[in-house]
Amino acid sequence: ADVGLLGYPSVGKSSILRKVSAAQPEVATYHFTTLNPILGVVNLPDHRSFVMADIPGLIDGASEGVGLGHDFLRHIERTKILIHVVDVSGIEGRDPIEDYEKINAELAKYSEKLARKRQVVAANKIDLLGDSDNLERLMDYMTAHGVEVYPICAMTGEGMDKLLERVWTMLEEYVEEPDETTEEVVYKAQNKPDFEVKRDDDGAFVITGARIENLVAMTNFDDDQSLRRFQRIWRYMELDKLLQEHGIQDGNTVRIYSMEFEYHK
């Protein structure tokens, strides 16, 4: 993913992803609703888009492997920009500044490179602030530390446009940090196909390959726009031709990743 949503459980990461993309992560009032990263494509005006990941909430001790800490941190490591989501409302007794410091301490313990990754802070749940001074305290603290803060409400979408435009600018400015610990390796291109088709024991045609598996994982098949996008990319990849070369017939089952389709010419 280009952008990762970072933060403690239940601060609103899944709600943000649901609001700005076609992805449909489960949203509930209990912690750890998200146990695996969920990807969504964020579309902006003028045909701009980027991929955002709802990364499961970190907990204290993640850098030592507590819970699924190492798995979660590896996902964060693969992103370019981080949106650090904090619950500014304080309705669950959380302090946004304390949460911000603890999460970044876990990042630093795990990897210096991860700690240097660019972040913006999304101060979520501003609709529930009431008389709390959490937002003012957070803004003062982040200003003193040179960190940008964007007050938002993931449920209504308030403040989201400004946040997403800033993230797009950061992606445009992004420069990959060189890894000084690895030696330069030169790879020679080989004529390895992008996709492979095999017949399963039940007769289904199974397509494997990183590109198509990622496409399936990122597609919400209950959304018409997302489904049309999937069909366009399917045609571009010429998967129909590949299946026909392997003898597929009308009504045969096609299996990709965890999804099954019925083939029709």
Residue 29 confidence (pLDDT):
38
* Pair type for strands 119-124 and 38-44: unpaired
- What is the rounded distance in angstroms from the CA atom of residue 52 to the CA atom of residue 50? 7
In a domain, 114, yes or no: yes
Q: What is the CATH number of the domain that holds 253?
A: 3.30.300.350
Residue 21 confidence (pLDDT):
83
Residue 186 confidence (pLDDT):
58
222 CB neighbour count, 10 Å cutoff = 9
Residue 131, pLDDT > 80, answer yes
Instruction: Please give the tally of structural domains in the chain.
Output: 2
pTM over 0.75, yes/no: no
Q: Report the share of the chain in percent with pLDDT over 90.
A: 29
Q: Give the CA radius of gyration of the chain.
A: 21
If one compares 126 and 34, the residue with the highest pLDDT of the two is 126
- What is the rounded distance in angstroms from the CA atom of residue 120 to the CA atom of residue 81? 8
Residues 117 and 221 in one domain: no
Give, for 162, the enclosing helix (H) or strand (E).
helix 160-173
Residues 142 and 232 in one domain: no
Residue 23 confidence (pLDDT):
59
Structure tokens at 67: 């819970």
Residue 24, pLDDT > 60, answer no
In a domain, 185, yes or no: no
- Cβ atoms of 8 and 99 within 8 Å: the answer is yes
Q: pLDDT by residue (tens digit) across 60-115?
A: 444 444 333 445 666 677 789 999 999 999 888 889 999 999 888 888 887 788 88
- What is the rounded distance in angstroms from the CA atom of residue 55 to the CA atom of residue 83? 11
- What is the rounded distance in angstroms from the CA atom of residue 16 to the CA atom of residue 155? 8
**Centroid of chain to Cα 74:** 13
170-180 b/e (C-beta count within 10 Å ≥ 16 → b): beeeeeeeeee
If one compares 193 and 196, the residue with the highest pLDDT of the two is 196
In a domain, 180, yes or no: no
In a domain, 97, yes or no: yes
Residues 169 and 200 in one domain: no
Mean pLDDT of 235-263: 86
- What is the rounded distance in angstroms from the CA atom of residue 205 to the CA atom of residue 251? 11
pLDDT band, residue 183 (cuts 50/70/90): low
Least confident span in 25-34, 149-158, 217-226: 25-34
- Cβ atoms of 155 and 15 within 8 Å: the answer is yes
Q: pLDDT by residue (tens digit) across 29-49?
A: 333 333 456 788 899 999 889
Residue 39 confidence (pLDDT):
82
Residue span of the structural domain in which 215 resides:
196-262
